[in-house]
Amino acid sequence: MGLQAAKTSRDARRQAIIDVAREVFLHEGYAATSMSTIAARVGGSKGTLYNYFPSKECLFSALMEAENEGHPWASAAIDPGGRDLPAVLADIGARFLDFIMSDRVQELHRLVIAECERFPELGRTFYDNGPRQGVALVAGLMEREMAAGRLIRKDPEMTAMVFLELCKSGIHQKRLWNIETHISPERKAANVEEAVRVFLAAYAAERPTS
């Protein structure tokens, strides 16, 4: 087997372990999940599993990285594509809500909430590999818009968080707490539209700087 084929095989094995671990973590909970259980589900020895992931914490961190890889919902913050700020914000908001309201992300949110008091590292791992990186990408957009004079000068990270929280307002908790199992595309779109309006009313500069 050539080097590239070996790497492809190892990457596929690593992803298979992550996929199995995700199901076990969600079904058993973080505390009750053992590396032995995951190894048995994957098929192979625990020693082989440790060759890929030296601890349960590392495996959970890899799971978080895989779930958030590329932060596709924040892609418009990296490349606005020549659109004006309201259009870019609307795109980010729509993608953001689709992502955080998805079944996969909701399941992980609930797992972390249920376990983070006993295992504080779970909350940190989840935050560092998910929300923190996404906010940083949007903060980069806010910084560029402030430098261009289109937004008033404030802390870019806080500004990004304000916008994302506006997008979630009124619907995210209902979904997270299973009060509503489905939020319609129309409601999500209305949330984003209002979030963009309120955000720009508060943060848009009165006139661009020269």
Q: Could you tell me the pLDDT band of residue 35, with boundaries at 50, 70 and 90?
A: very high
**What are the chain's domains?**
3-66 (1.10.10.60), 70-203 (1.10.357.10)
Question: Vertex 60, ends 57 and 66: CA angle to 5°?
Answer: 145
Length of the chain counted residue by residue = 210
Cα R_g (the chain), whole angstroms: 20
The two three-digit tokens of residue 119, written as one number: 């295992």
Q: What is the per-residue pLDDT across 72-85, written as a single tens digit (0 to 9) for each?
A: 788 888 888 889 99
pTM of the prediction? 0.83
117-143 pLDDT, tens digit per residue, is 988 888 898 898 888 989 999 999 999
> Residue 48 pLDDT more than 80?
yes
Which among 112, 117, 127, 116 is positioned nearest to 25, based on CA atoms?
Answer: 112
Q: Give the residue carrying structure tokens 């030296």.
A: 54
Query: Per residue in 150-198, pLDDT tens?
Result: 999 999 999 999 999 999 999 999 999 989 989 999 999 999 999 999 9
Model pLDDT, residue 183: 93
> pLDDT tens digits for 57-114?
999 989 888 887 766 788 888 888 889 999 999 999 999 999 999 998 899 899 999 9
The DSSP call for residue 204 is: B
